[in-house]
Amino acid sequence: MSQPAIRPLVAGNWKMFGLRSALAQIERLRALLAANPPGADCAICPPFTLIDAAIKITAGSAIAIGAQDCHSADEGAHTGDIAAPMLADLGVRHVIIGHSERRTDHGEGDSLVMAKACAAHKAGLSAIICVGETLAQRDAGAALDIVIKQLEGSVPAKANAANSIIAYEPVWAIGTGRTPQTDDIAQMHQAIRSYLTNRFEDGGSMRILYGGSVKPKNAGELMSVAHVNGALVGGASLDSGDFNAILDAYRR
């Protein structure tokens, strides 16, 4: 595995999927990991409605529970929003910030993403800060510039290896079954690593996840790329068997 000194993280983003019956997948995943622990940290980020139950199911296990978003304010008149202290109060460990679907569907820009990351840090949560380019941007040769600009605008000045994780997700690969060439992923992760190392004292230790159609069949290859310290998994995380198979990339 690349960067052996960095403990990898494989996080599952359930997005807007999952009724209470889906909690059985978390129960099964707990059993699978207890029988065969991976050499990586594991997190599941279910919809808000399932977080409390998921935390109870995973108590005392190797599975951390995360959330998919938070508001930038600690509290207030923000109907329908969830504050980071509310998540921390439940026992949430991680929160996904600035996912491309939030950036696209809700118009979230870098400044708002940074404000949410700051709120997560203040509440004691680890922020999984997402960056990534569109296909048009990549075809125009602007992918590296776009991602570095997003990092500059989205990652707080006080970010560190304990409170921040970067997730690189090429927008055009999310949910499409398409993945970039491993050379392209290596180039992007190297650029992100260089940026983090130059900006932050412990930037060389900050985890950089890859996301975008991560499946059991390609996880081993993707996770072996230099400076890929784990994965942010979408659809495959909804099935405990598939998610456990992705974790095989960190089993020996």
pLDDT at 180 over 90: no
- How do residues 187-231 score in pLDDT, each as one tens digit? 999 999 999 999 999 999 999 999 989 999 999 999 999 999 999
Task: Please enumerate in sequence order all residues whose Cβ is within 8 A of that of 145, keeping only pairs 6 or more positions apart, or say none.
Answer: none
> Which three-class secondary structure state does DSSP give residue 48?
helix
| DSSP3 helix / strand / coil % (the chain, rounded to 5) | 45, 15, 40
Catalytic pick among 101, 108, 133, 169: 169
Residue 99 falls in the annotated catalytic set: yes
- Which whole-number Å values give the CA distances from 241 to 56, 160, 226, in the listed order? 21, 33, 26
Q: What H or E segment, with its residue span, contains residue 42?
A: strand 41-45
Mean pLDDT of the region 64-70: 98
pLDDT of residue 181: 92
- Name the average pLDDT for the chain: 96
pLDDT for residue 3:
44
Give me Rg for the CA atoms of the chain: 17
Q: Which of 71, 99, 189, 227 is catalytic?
A: 99
Give the predicted TM-score (pTM) of the model: 0.96
21 belongs to an annotated ligand binding site: no
Active site includes 133?
no
235 in a known ligand binding site: yes
Q: How far from chain centre, in Å, is Cα 229?
A: 11
Q: Please answer whether residues 47 and 20 qualify as being in contact, where contact means their C-beta atoms are separated by less than 8 angstroms.
A: no
Superfamily of domain covering 65-203: Aldolase class I (3.20.20.70)
213 marked among binding-site residues: yes
Domain boundaries, the chain: 18-34+51-63, 65-203
Q: CB 202: neighbour CB atoms within 10 A?
A: 12
Assign 173 a pLDDT band (cuts: 50, 70, 90). confident
Beta bridge partners of 111: none
Instruction: Quickly state the pLDDT bin for 175 (edges 50, 70, 90).
Output: confident
